[in-house]
Amino acid sequence: MGSPLFDLTGKVAVVTGSSKGIGKSIAMHLALQGARVVVSSRKAPVCEEAAAEIRAAGGEAIVIPCNISDKAQCQTLISETRKRLGPVDVLVCNAASNPYYGPTEKMPDEAFMKIMQNNILSNIWLTTMVLPDMRAKKDGSIIIVSSIGGLRGTPVIGAYGISKAADMQLARNLATELGVDNIRINTIAPGLVKTDFARALWEDPKNLERRNSATPLRRIGDPDDIGGIAVLLAGPAGRFITGQTIVADGGVTIGN
């Protein structure tokens, strides 16, 4: 018998950017603990594939595509979830953008603005949209997938790091505002994880070897290393955690 602290039976969970990588792992593990999950990203076919995997594993999942850069689409995502599954209990803001690699001084304004809108503003939109459901129940969990890029300086993904640091502060702010309604907001800050999104950082063998040797656990992350943390934060096991950032990086940030 599993611990009731990790039981999400009957919970409705929306996970953005969940057609692959970390988002798909989060959606999968929430569903395997009993949540009814909405798989969402820009492209419906890849969402359908992910949802089919979840259903094949014994979970419940539906698909509602959404481009998080479009506020109207975000509203449709939440309103359609409410219509098809019921009020939202868990929101996972995982979708993000990083269209620029390089020094800050050469970064186009358009790239910076896209990163800020998709990685911060969309999280505010979605959070605001689910608040009526959570306030009515006096219960809810909002999880923002941040990054250790928000904790360290970087010469390569500076704007992305700024946005991820802002997400951590957003969670702290919202936690102080919404705690009175028993709504918890936390972030997860992964290190380098083997996903398509981070492919530029790990697919070169020499770069990967350097990363592994500099990591206390001597490996980069796997999406499932993050999925379980979301289960913790989504349910009763995390009911006394709010405004926090859980770092999952194999120990990178404790080293030199």
Q: State yes or no: is 101 an active-site residue.
A: no
Mapping DSSP onto H, E and C, the string for the chain reads CCCHHHCCCCCEEEEECCCCHHHHHHHHHHHHCCCEEEEECCCHHHHHHHHHHHHHCCCEEEECCCCCCCHHHHHHHHHHHHHHCCCCCEEEECCCCCCCCECHHHCCHHHHHHHHHHHHHHHHHHHHHHHHHHHHHCCEEEEEECCHHHCCCCCCEHHHHHHHHHHHHHHHHHHHHHHHHCEEEEEEEECCECCCCCHHHHCCHHHHHHHHHCCCCCCCECHHHHHHHHHHHHCHHHCCCCCCEEEECCCHHHCC
CB-based burial of residue 136 (10 Å sphere; 0-12 exposed, 13-18 middle, 19+ buried)? Answer: exposed
Annotated active-site residue in 6, 100, 125, 160: 160
Residues shown for the chain: 256
The residues, ordered by sequence, that sit 6+ positions from 247 with a Cβ below 8 Å of its Cβ are 148, 151, 189, 191, 253
Residues involved in catalysis: 160
